[in-house]
Structure 1
């Protein structure tokens, strides 16, 4: 794999979907040397790691090694069973320029997986009696903001959580796509991002269908702040990160680009000549629709706590799993239903509750299999172009699950 360390400038493009892919048309210019970093920059450890004695260690490591040979810069994987036995592995590099190997405990960007954390925090506030899921969001947020959003004054908290609001997804505004790609290191505020949804037609009337929209979760972050009078990420820390011991998990607003974060890479040319994109994800540093920093180990701990009944009342968790199916399924994806903050997908290895996430140069996916009470969480420091089919496609997910469950 070759590496181009470049600044992206004067680009014009389109985000092909609200989930993942980036298509750039334009110029790559001003190639610069990356930072000189010592291996100790990426030092980390996991307490009581038993991966070396795990019975499936050989086939799991072989999977990661194969992905790297195919062109993924680096890949992290956690596989955890009902008893809590966990295999942690890594392959590839944390830093191509400095040729530093990836470690299983390294931190990375995990993008929209934060939406599950956001949703769980809202549901915890519901358990505390501080809101009702069928309250209009207008009970908590100002009319001056919501009146600019088609459906904004008529959607409920539940409809924001399960993407049945119909609210326009700001990421799909072509003006936002151009603006964000022309200023890839810009750090955006929530109000700046919401402005790209103002005046845009809703996809459908609230509650009549489901369609993924990042706009929903910006509003939910604002809701958390309005109720608690704290930054939403401080509430994450109070209710989730600290109680669960998620020592490798933080939100980007505290430190947008930690020195120890693994470098991100994007295959812009669709030929595995990747460019470094570590500093190119600034639009979600301060909003609850993205911006999470973590690793597969911590994400697995969170999933087991959630679906093990340690975070929410049993009745609330069941309410979160009242599934809504979209009127149109993605032709090349898993059959999917929408819950409150996560999705149900049908895989060859059983039902899974899951969420995935993207940032420029990063991808992550976390899955919980209720019948097996097992988690599979993986993350990569590369995406787009020829890398996406290797890590985020249905076929890639099935390949990973086959190595885990065969």
Structure 2
């Protein structure tokens, strides 16, 4: 959503309106970007001292995030590396139990709900929108749950719709009816024949959540609690409707201006991204989630095998190494080996959560500014290089 603020022409613009324009520009990354899934030549796996040096330098760099926190897990052992601050005003350091917006890593949670329901027989991967959500346009009817989960559906992305962008620009904190977000694109045809190609779309995971609600008669929020949070022991993860974050939290910043970083942690209502990007969690909870999710703890081996049928496609923003897409999950093939997970970015935040296929080893890597191909292509390249080094450290492989 590449919106940019209009010149004021001498009119005094309020702080709220400035933030609205800023958020509209930042939301460009919620829509898919045309970018290669490949990264350039990257350095080999470093030790913790070198990893620390990398994130320290990243925070100090021009356009770098005010804060970084990475949690690396190997079985029952955990280590935390951090740089910069969680709050520019107080100088407090980032901590594993700080709340944060996990952005599109929320799509992995909708994948977890859907695949758990597939495992129980309540849903099937070949169920169509026509069967489960008949109120949606007939032209979308042949789209299957499988195609929604691996972004081959062809659904138009509602975050690109002028009506949605205008609403966010006018009032970033407005409360959307999350279950009507697809109304912004109901007059549009599919972008391509379902299953014929890959295109990342935020509409996909909204439809996944609606399908889950339709077959269970239960709210998506309750399904998350019963099928994901409780089994995986997540105690600090929620899907809010408003713009507030629970204390304590990692503050998210815009660093594009010439002055001090601007705190935009609570500028945007989560109701407008819902199942596609609205979840709030902590590095500690996210670490527990990705180990269980990537490791297949929530459903049987047959569903895991279907989940790991890879197609060409990158997450948004692209993760480390070569990206391929599965059902609600991506495979990141690095020089040191492959991990499974998801990335995400949201105004003020960029995320990576990944784990080995057995769920034993994991990495969560959180930065407190939005980095993507559209807003900060050079910083994204650098971020992916750092992420790959951290993956190599998790896999304990080097030169």
Deviations 1:131-158 (A, max 9, x none): 21101122222x33334xxx42111111
After TM superposition, list the pairs within 5 Å mapping 1:57-76 onto structure 2: 57-70=48-61, 71-76=64-69
Alignment of 1:181 with 2:169, yes or no, is yes
Offset of 1:223 from its aligned partner? 1.4
What corresponds to 1:257 in structure 2? Answer: 245
Give the match's secondary structure for 1:7.
helix
What are the equivalent positions in structure 2 for 1:4-403 lying under 5 Å apart?
6-9=15-18, 11=21, 15-18=27-30, 56-70=47-61, 71-81=64-74, 83-141=75-133, 143-147=134-138, 151-253=139-241, 256-269=244-257, 271=258, 273-284=260-271, 287-326=274-313, 334-370=321-357, 373-384=360-371, 388=376, 393-403=380-390
Counterpart of 1:200 in 2: which secondary structure?
coil
CA gap of 1:16–1:292, structure 2 versus 1, over 3 A, is: closer
TM-score for the superposition, normalised by structure 2: 0.80
Match of 1:94, SS?
coil
Change (3 A) 1:284 1:350: farther
Cα distance per residue 1:309-330 (max 9 Å; x no partner): 3211011001101112259x99
Name structure 1 gaps, 5 residues minimum: 22-54
Show CA shifts across 1:338-389 (max 9, x none).
2100112332222232211122111111122448953221112222599845
Q: Determine the C-alpha separation between the residues in 2 that align with 1:124 and 1:11.
A: 39
With 201-210 and 177-186 compared, the bigger mean Cα shift is at 177-186
Report how far residue 191 of structure 1 moved: 4.4
**Between structures 1 and 2, the one with greater helix share:** 2
- Separation in 1 of the partners of 2:273 and 2:162? 21
State how many pairs are aligned: 361
Instruction: Quote how far apart the aligned CAs of 1:250 are.
Output: 1.7
Helix, strand or coil for the counterpart of 2:82? strand
Is 292-301 or 318-327 further displaced after alignment?
318-327
> Aligned equivalents of 2:206 and 2:187: distance in 1?
17
Residue in structure 1 matched with residue 40 of structure 2 by the alignment = none
RMSD: 3.2
Could you tell me how far apart the structure 1 residues matched to 2:244 and 2:333 are?
35
Cα gap change, 1:361/1:320 in structure 2, threshold over 3 Å: closer, same or farther?
A: same
CA contact (8 A) 2:291 2:359 kept: no
Distance 1:233 1:336, change over 3 A: same
Contact 1:165-1:216 within 8 A present in 2 as well:
yes
Q: Is the 8 A contact 2:308 2:327 kept in 1?
A: yes
The structure in which a higher percent of residues are strand is: 1
Please report the TM-score for the alignment, with normalisation by the length of structure 1.
0.79
CA-to-aligned-CA distance 1:278-331 (integer Å, 9 cap, x gap)? 22221546721111111222222222222333211011001101112259x999
